[in-house]
Amino acid sequence: MIEIDDITKSYNGTVVVDHVTLTIEPRSICVVVGTSGSGKTTLMRMINKLVEPSSGHIRIDGEDIAGIPAYELRRRIGYAIQGHGLFPHRTVGQNVATVPKLLGWDKKKIADRVDELLSLFQLDPAEFRDRLPHELSGGQQQRVGVARALAASPNILLMDEPYGALDPVIRAKAQEDLLSIQRKMGTTVVLVTHDMEEAIHLGDTIAVMDKGKLLQCAKPAEIIANPATPFVAELIGTSERPFRLLSLARVADHIEAGEGAGEPIEASASLRDAYAELLWSGRPALPVRRDGQVVGQVTLEALSRLAARPQ
């Protein structure tokens, strides 16, 4: 658990982060959203002491980080940034091995861990271990960057606009990878982004920041339904609200009895995908398939109700 307690950071009188209090539950993904200059990156960088707060405290699992030497704290926290920040003079394998090596693991254990992580990120160890970062594509570099951050199995992973430099197709893939790896490892993730779509897709909770202040911190559905300020509403996008709400739920959770006609949709798809398919094919209901079996249907009428503002 990360407890941010009344944290303020100011540079020469300019307040960048203004009395922010925020608790991040263990094994959850907290996405900090805001425009540039909102203080979101500064807030995140105070968690691993890349920035020293002017006042306030941050506790990790109850321990105040002020008492931990910065380099020691950082070895316990994964850190992945936009533009990956890989060491250009070291191979992919050496990059991933950075933190385990700093922690003094033995050679065999490091080599095994590197191969394990590269495989986890779908990079064949034999092919990629000895390559230099500049020989990789942008998407591969980004994966190596996250693999490096996770190398020593940290409880916490900080990500600063990790997908900012990726094209939409690779970004979607990288987001899915993050979700599945986070579920597998149970890592607590703090991710900073300016993209509300990404925040809703990835976040268990979303923290919205503007001008150094924390405006709202809540579950995605709550933020969409009840934005705390006009700024939050604007960030969500008024015309996008119903679709964003639908994107949060899976077809599996809203199956009705009956059998719609035509091509079925997978139960794992989001309601938003189902809604789009209903509108596009002009059908009133879609059959739902799970493990190859049709198990029911979703209807346009039900989805319309679900997309309406929660009462």
48 binds other proteins (CB under 8 A): yes
Q: What are the Cα distances from residue 186, in Å, to 8, 78, 163, 182, 218?
A: 29, 13, 21, 5, 20
Dist. CA 151–CA 148, nearest whole Å = 5
Among 133, 203, 220, 227, binds other proteins (CB under 8 A): 133
Task: Name the one range near other proteins by CB under 8 A: 58-66, 81-89, 169-177, 200-208.
Answer: 81-89
Task: Name the one range near other proteins by CB under 8 A: 133-141, 179-187, 198-206, 210-218.
Answer: 133-141
9 binds other proteins (CB under 8 A): no
List the alpha helices (DSSP H) in 30-137. Answer: 40-47, 70-75, 92-96, 98-102, 107-120, 125-128
Query: For residue 169, what are the β-bridge partners?
Result: none
Determine how many CB atoms are found less than 10 A away from the CB of residue 238: 8
Dist. CA 26–CA 83, nearest whole Å = 27
Taking the least distance from each CB to other proteins, the nearer of 67 and 88 is: 88
Among 25, 52, 61, 72, binds other proteins (CB under 8 A): 72
Nearest distance in Å: CB 71, other proteins = 5
Number of DSSP helices (H) and strands (E) in the chain, helices first: 14, 13
113 binds other proteins (CB under 8 A): no
11 binds other proteins (CB under 8 A): no
Among 36, 62, 71, 238, binds other proteins (CB under 8 A): 71
Q: Enumerate residues 6+ apart whose C-beta is below 8 A from 89.
A: 132
Nearest distance in Å: CB 102, other proteins = 6
Task: Name the one range near other proteins by CB under 8 A: 22-30, 54-62, 71-79, 106-114.
Answer: 71-79
Among 126, 134, 238, 239, binds other proteins (CB under 8 A): 134
Dist. CA 149–CA 171, nearest whole Å = 18
157 binds other proteins (CB under 8 A): no
Taking the least distance from each CB to other proteins, the nearer of 88 and 230 is: 88
Taking the least distance from each CB to other proteins, the nearer of 97 and 265 is: 97
Tokens of 32: 């900090």
Taking the least distance from each CB to other proteins, the nearer of 151 and 251 is: 151
- Map residue 159 onto helix, strand or coil: strand
85 binds other proteins (CB under 8 A): yes
Q: What are the Cα distances from residue 195, in Å, to 36, 220, 252?
A: 11, 13, 27
- Map residue 61 onto helix, strand or coil: coil
81 binds other proteins (CB under 8 A): yes
Dist. CA 222–CA 209, nearest whole Å = 16
**Closest CA relative to residue 274, chosen from 262, 257, 261, 287:** 287
Among 42, 82, 182, 193, binds other proteins (CB under 8 A): 82
Task: Name the one range near other proteins by CB under 8 A: 3-11, 73-81, 232-240, 254-262.
Answer: 73-81
132 binds other proteins (CB under 8 A): yes
Nearest distance in Å: CB 230, other proteins = 34
Report which residue type is found at 252.
A
Dist. CA 195–CA 174, nearest whole Å = 15
- Which residues here bind other proteins, judged by CB under 8 A? 48, 50, 70-76, 79, 81-89, 98-99, 102, 132-135, 145, 148-149, 158
